[in-house]
Amino acid sequence: MIVYTNLFYIFAHDIFSCMRLAFFAWEYPPRLVGGLGTYAQYITRELVKMGHDVTVFTMNTGSLKTHEVLHGVSVHRPLGVDASGILRVIAASELQSWGDQLRFFGSIFTYDMLSCAKMVNRLIKKEKVEFDVACVHDWMGAMALLILKEEMQLPVAFHVHSTEWGRSRGRGSKVVSDIEHRGSIMADRIVTVSYAMKEDLASHGWDAGKVNVVWNGVDPGVYDPSKVDMVEAGVLRERYGASDKKMILFVGRLNWVKGIMNLVQAMPAVLKEYPNAKLVILGTGDEESNIRHLIKRLGLEDDVACRFEFVSEHERILHYAAADLCAFPSLYEPFGIVSLEAMAMEKPIVVGASGVSGLKEQVVNAGPDRTGVHVDGNSPEDIAWGIKETLIDDDRMRRWGKSARRRVLEYFTWEKVARETLGIYEEMARSYGK
């Protein structure tokens, strides 16, 4: 399908010299939470560079501008209201049991409602803006999808970066799952981030014929090892006590799906063969306290360093440059942009490849173009094996890293992502006679 959309882009580009696109993404710079925000940031900028008109509707923390133009992208952030009180009266009983988290659902609900109202009543009806396609992201934007399909004759693409059943091991919110499923029915097309995700959606009853796969990307001009001050990277290694050690880097949100607890549990087996190994954990999340306790229980205080912070992109790049290898043993990972970032920085990668894993579509596990190792993220023993397998040969690690960057340049640039995604949007618009 990717080849098809590329061909469609070539033949249709003259027809759609400029598309007007409306994006609903609950996180967008400067407010970034995870991979969705990174995706939205880069894809919208790339589409603008290609000559298209992009309007983003995103959430407001209360202190951000309600409208501004960032890198050519028109960004609307309606000021929200606390709807948790009324939701306790009218919402499903399951939502009422959410406690304090009901406020989060309420903020998403009002964000979608206010954004749709602004788009429909002000931009479309008053200012006569004619959008070609609306693009909504995950369940946080799916409520906007449902509103728009009732209100407007407008093609809507539902971008699915993850699902409630995947994030929660099948024990999540029925309300959220129902929103996702209803969105899949109402959407004209579904765009997801890996073939593993497409299979997972189909296995849960979604219409596979509507699902298109477009991998995420990275900016290799930003994530470029040749641009890093290696003296600064050396200072960072020294700060972690890893100057003369093999630095294993984990970057990401610290929750169960990332396999971080199993990675820590793998370290004693790694240290038996490689006593000079040092694990560095960079990120924030629900597992911070559990990670601290596990490190103490296993006596790994000198072997695992934690920095529980959300750092700038510059610092993240510096961490990749400082590392010898990166490990992302996720249990559920529809794609995983951090892996691409590490690959662009010429690092060999150990990734979780069991279950729903877009990581295994990024990392080549064998052959002359090998870039890393696939492991079972559920197994500390297998994670330890993967790390030890990578550490065997320094020259081979460098070759894997070089292959990783070449693979990024060929398959995972934002320009490529934008062109393939645009091909889908153009086909949708044409089906509506636009």
136 & 235 share domain: no
Radius of gyration of the chain (CA): 22
Residues 202 and 245 grouped into a single domain:
no
CB–CB of 259/327 below 8 Å?
no
Q: Does residue 258 contact residue 330 with C-beta atoms inside 8 Å?
A: yes
CA dist 8 and 272 (Å) reads 54
Of the pLDDT bands very low, low, confident and very high (cuts 50, 70, 90), residue 16 is low
Q: Distance (Å, rounded) from C-alpha 25 to C-alpha 104? A: 15
Mean pLDDT of 213-236: 97
- Token pair, residue 275, equals 């006593």
406 and 421 belong to one structural domain: no
Task: Please say if the pLDDT value at position 10 is more than 80.
Answer: no
- Band of the pLDDT at 263, cuts 50, 70, 90? very high
- What average pLDDT does range 203-223 have in this prediction? 97
DSSP string, 319-333: HHHH-SEEEE--SSB
Q: Specify whether 47 is located in the same domain as 142.
A: yes
The 10s digit of each residue's pLDDT in 332-342 is 999 999 999 99
User: For residue 189, what are the β-bridge partners?
Assistant: 157
Q: How confident is the model at residue 61, as a pLDDT? A: 85
| pLDDT for position 11 | 44
Scanning 54-194, the segments in alpha helix (DSSP H) are 84-90, 93-96, 102-117, 138-151, 164-167, 174-186
Bridge partner list, 191:
159, 212
* 417 and 290 inside one domain: no
Report pTM.
0.90
301 and 182 within one domain: no
In the block, which residue shows the tokens 């919110």? Answer: 173
Please check whether residues 388 and 264 belong to one and the same domain: yes
Kindly report, residue by residue over 365-401, the tens digit of the pLDDT: 999 999 999 999 999 999 999 999 999 999 999 999 9
The answer, yes or no, to whether residue 1 has pLDDT greater than 60, is no
Residue 12: pLDDT above 50?
no
Amino acid 139: pLDDT = 94
Q: What is the pLDDT of residue 4?
A: 42
Q: Between helices 138-151 and 174-186, what is the axis angle to 10°?
A: 50
User: At 84, is the pLDDT very low, low, confident or very high (cuts 50, 70, 90)?
Assistant: confident
Pairwise CA distance, residues 148 & 156, whole Å? 8
Say how far apart CA 267 and CA 255 lie, in whole Å. 18
- CB of 321 closer than 8 Å to CB of 230: yes
Q: Mean pLDDT throughout 52-80?
A: 95
User: How many independent structural domains does the chain possess?
Assistant: 2
Per-residue pLDDT, 8: 44
Instruction: Among 127-131, 167-171, 284-288, 365-369, name the one with the lowest average pLDDT.
Output: 167-171
- Please report, for the domain that includes residue 151, its CATH number: 3.40.50.2000
Query: Would you say the C-alpha torsion 56, 58, 60, 61 has a positive or negative sign?
Result: negative
Residue 74: CB partners within 8 Å, gap ≥ 6?
53, 54, 55, 56, 67
Average of per-residue pLDDT across 85-105: 77
Give yes or no: residues 249 and 396 share one domain.
yes
Q: What mean pLDDT is predicted for residues 190-200?
A: 97
Quote the CA–CA distance of 341 and 320 in Å, as a whole number.
8
pLDDT (tens digit per residue) in 310-319: 899 999 999 9
- 279 vs 265: CA distance, rounded Å: 11
Query: Are 182 and 35 in a shared domain?
Result: yes
Helix (H) or strand (E) segment spanning residue 429: helix 414-431
Q: Binning pLDDT at 50, 70 and 90, where does residue 90 land?
A: low
In this structure, the answer to whether residues 229 and 200 fall within a common structural domain is no
317 or 86, which is more confident: 317
The more confident residue out of 33 and 4 is 33
Considering the domain architecture, whether residues 335 and 424 belong to the same structural domain is answered as: no
Structure tokens at 383: 């994670």
Are 381 and 419 members of one domain? Answer: no
What is the percentage of the chain residues whose pLDDT exceeds 70? 95
- Residue 250 scores a pLDDT above 90: yes
Q: Counting Cβ atoms within 10 Å, is residue 217 exposed (0-12), middle (13-18) or buried (19+)?
A: buried
Helix or strand run (H / E) with residue 97: none
The pair of structure tokens assigned to 404 is: 């990783």
**Torsional sign, CA 316, 370, 46, 200:** negative
The domain in which residue 128 lies consists of 2-217+413-431
